[in-house]
Amino acid sequence: MLCPECGAEVVHNAVYCHKCGERMDLAQQEFPLEGAGATGAVSEYAATGGGRGPADADAPRGPRERFQEIAADRQAAKDEPERELWRGHFCAKAMIGAWVLSGLITLVALIVGIVIWKGWFWWVAAIGLIALWIHQLLKYAYRRWNISYQFTTQRLIHHSGILRRVTDRIEVIDMDDITFEQTVLERLVGTGTIHITSSDRSHPELFLRGIDNVKEVSEIIDDTRRGERRRRGLFVEQV
């Protein structure tokens, strides 16, 4: 090891030069040891990011790093284009109970008319049956055209009204729980009612009635809700 001031040979790791008194430890920091060993040490120092060893790479991240990652994920979720996942309305199969009841009433009226075989009864039965079926058809038309739904990767859009149209939105991140209900007849045709509870002020509870393929639709909504909360760094049980 040579002194950078006078060139005298000094002991390795000496603090001062014994000849000129030059301080050696500062010189070592500014001018690393010559040779392959020093070059390898410098290369390792640079490769590990300023003295961070391989064990430091797996060290727990601090609050600042976690915050930056969450902020980046939220920004990425915000910048993600909105995509439509499902669109629906009241399904005719959801009125299976009303259709079955109307059919039974019609069948009984025909049987009674054949047994009695009175002209006045046929007129009364015909008027009553026509009114019954018109009532059921109007009820179905109102339910179908009065309410419609559109679900995207970011929100559920709820349209209601025929003459006066009202549009409400529930953000996916605000949804707390998704369940669905089915009667015995609805289970036969695959329809039902989806119940959404959320922190939305306008619709803390929303019932989507008469939905076809209710199980698949509820799973789409719930999976999207869970995925959105994971992207924003929230636990599913939070909020």
In this structure, the answer to whether residues 92 and 38 fall within a common structural domain is no
CA 148 – CA 168 distance, rounded (Å): 11
CA 149 – CA 159 distance, rounded (Å): 6
E strand or H helix that includes residue 175:
strand 175-181
Q: How many domains does the chain have?
A: 2
Q: Report, as an integer, the average pLDDT of 85-103.
A: 94
Tell me the per-residue pLDDT of 164-211, one tens digit each, with 9 for 90 and over: 999 999 999 999 999 999 999 999 999 999 999 998 888 899 999 999
CA 151 – CA 82 distance, rounded (Å): 10
Confidence of residue 34 (pLDDT cuts 50, 70, 90): very low
Q: Identify the domain containing residue 175 by its residue range.
A: 84-231
In this structure, the answer to whether residues 201 and 109 fall within a common structural domain is yes
Tell me the per-residue pLDDT of 106-156, one tens digit each, with 9 for 90 and over: 999 989 888 887 778 888 989 999 999 999 999 999 999 999 999 999 999
pLDDT score at 79: 58
Looking at the domain assignment, is residue 189 inside a domain?
yes
Q: Report, as an integer, the average pLDDT of 90-118.
A: 91
Long-range contacts at 114-118 (CB < 8 A, ≥ 24 apart):
none
Of 216 and 30, which is predicted with more confidence? 216
Nearest to 109 by CA among 134, 130, 136: 130
